Amino acid sequence: MLKRILVSFVLIPVTILAILKGDVYFFSMSLILSTFCLWEFYTIFESKDYYPLKTFSIVVSLLFQTIAYVHGPENIIYFLVFIPMIISLELFRKKERSIINPVLAVFGLIYITLPFYLINALEKDFRIVLFIVILVWACDSSAYFIGKYFGKRKLTKISPKKTVEGAIGGFLFTILTAIIYHYIQPDFITLKDALVCGIAIGISGQIGDLFESMLKRYTEVKDSSQIIPGHGGVLDRLDSLIFVTPLMYIYFSFMR
């Protein structure tokens, strides 16, 4: 627990600084984090004897995000070009499960690379990204601590440590955090924004956490990696943000 808290005291200021500085600083952090997440995602499936073109797919992710950063996020069409390339490469590999491998490769790019692409598109206004990240942190942290100290009823077999009390507490605390944010910055976050985003993140963030737990349960691993002391892997820490980002992109880009 102490190690987890100490590491958080380092990671949180670094993340906030990258968001506030924006531009190449945020893009660089995003590129590094997405690469670790993708590497961890493919690696946990290798433990079940799947081999989803890990190196090539990571290179594709790096190229796509760099193209989007340099030439603008509207160039998402480049993302589609790589899909038939991945499928074609599988035809020349001498690996079993030749159908599943390219499916996992493409799914990893959609599951991880696409949300990072979207959050970079949102970063044109750093206040939106900061708001989203704070709500995700609020959801994750409150669900964890409320579940740890007050949880009694198990939420699901997929993740035995998750509790009903933790899930409800995380949901309500996320909404409360969003409302407080509204009163701090009423000209930027309206009450409608606070309620919509608080509810959406309070639900989708926890679904993202459970989805990654399902992947780890299937592949029989405890953590996506051990790269962050006391926290596990990068994907373990960003699973909620990955699920939340597409919804927030849709809301702030088209529905606000």
Give tens-digit pLDDT for 180-222: 999 999 999 999 999 999 999 999 999 999 999 999 999 999 9
56: pLDDT strictly greater than 80: yes
3-state SS assignment for residue 39: helix
- pLDDT band of residue 2 (cuts 50, 70, 90) is low
Q: Whose structure tokens read 């692409």?
A: 117
% residues pLDDT > 90 (the chain) = 67
Q: What is the pLDDT of residue 159?
A: 87
- pLDDT band of residue 74 (cuts 50, 70, 90) is low
% residues pLDDT > 70 (the chain) = 94
Using the CB atoms, write b or e for 219-251: b if 16+ within 10 Å: bebeebbebbeebbbbbbbbbbbbbbbbbbbeb
- DSSP structure string for 97-114: -TTHHHHHHHHHIIIIIH
Q: What is the pLDDT of residue 255?
A: 87
Residues 144 and 163: their CA atoms lie apart, in Å, by 9
- pLDDT band of residue 93 (cuts 50, 70, 90) is confident
Summarize pLDDT for 218-251 with one digit per residue, the tens.
999 999 999 988 778 999 999 999 999 999 999 9
- pLDDT band of residue 1 (cuts 50, 70, 90) is low
Average pLDDT for 175-183: 98
178: pLDDT strictly greater than 90: yes
pTM of the model: 0.92
Q: What is the pLDDT of residue 165?
A: 96
Summarize pLDDT for 35-51 with one digit per residue, the tens.
999 999 999 999 888 98
User: What is the DSSP code (8-state) at residue 228?
Assistant: B
Q: Which residue has the higher pLDDT, 10 or 53?
A: 53
Instruction: Supply φ then ψ for residue 99, to 5 degrees.
Output: -80, -45
Q: Whose structure tokens read 């198990």?
A: 154
Average pLDDT for 13-19: 92
- H-state helical runs in 160-221: 164-184, 191-219
Q: What is the pLDDT of residue 68?
A: 86
174: pLDDT strictly greater than 70: yes
Q: Which residue has the higher pLDDT, 232 or 98?
A: 232
Q: What is the pLDDT of residue 114?
A: 93
Torsion of CA 252, 213, 8, 244, to 10 degrees: 0
16: pLDDT strictly greater than 70: yes
Q: What is the pLDDT of residue 39?
A: 97
